[in-house]
Amino acid sequence: MPTKPIFIFSLPRAGSTLLQRLLSQHSEISSAPEPWIALPLFYTLKQEGVRAIYGHEALSNAVNGFIDSFPNKREDYLSSAATFLNSMYSLGSESDSIYFLDKTPRYHLIVDELIEAFPDAKFVFLWRNPVAIAASILETWGKGKWNLYMFRVDLYSGMESLVTAFNKYSDRSIAIKYENLVASPESEISRLLLYLGLDNENRIVNEFGSSKKIGAPGRGDPTGQYKYDSISKASIDSWKKVMANQFRRRWAKSYLKWIGGDHLKTMGYDIKVLNSEMDKQPLKYEYLLADIIRNIFGSIYCKYSVEDVRSNKPWRKNIFFTKN
pLDDT, tens digit, for every residue of 162-188? 999 999 999 999 999 999 999 999 999
Decide if 321 is inside a domain.
Answer: no
Domain containing 123 equals 4-316
Decide if 322 is inside a domain.
Answer: no
pTM: 0.90
What was the pLDDT predicted at 210?
A: 65
Residue 61, CA distances (Å) to 13, 49, 66, 67 in order: 35, 14, 9, 10
Decide if 160 is inside a domain.
Answer: yes
At residue 95 the predicted structure's pLDDT band, cuts being 50, 70 and 90, is confident
Mean pLDDT for all residues in the chain: 89
pLDDT over threshold 70, residue 23? yes
pLDDT, tens digit, for every residue of 266-301? 999 999 999 999 999 999 999 999 999 999 999 888
Decide if 272 is inside a domain.
Answer: yes
Decide if 238 is inside a domain.
Answer: yes
Torsion angle of C-alpha atoms 15, 172, 23, 35, degrees rounded to 10: -70
DSSP string, 72-98: TTHHHHHHHHHHHHHHHHHHTS-TT-S
At residue 225 the predicted structure's pLDDT band, cuts being 50, 70 and 90, is low
At residue 304 the predicted structure's pLDDT band, cuts being 50, 70 and 90, is confident
Total number of domains constituting the chain: 1
pLDDT, tens digit, for every residue of 191-202? 999 999 999 987
Decide if 323 is inside a domain.
Answer: no
Decide if 254 is inside a domain.
Answer: yes
Q: Report the CATH number at residue 266.
A: 3.40.50.300
pLDDT over threshold 50, residue 87? yes
Decide if 292 is inside a domain.
Answer: yes
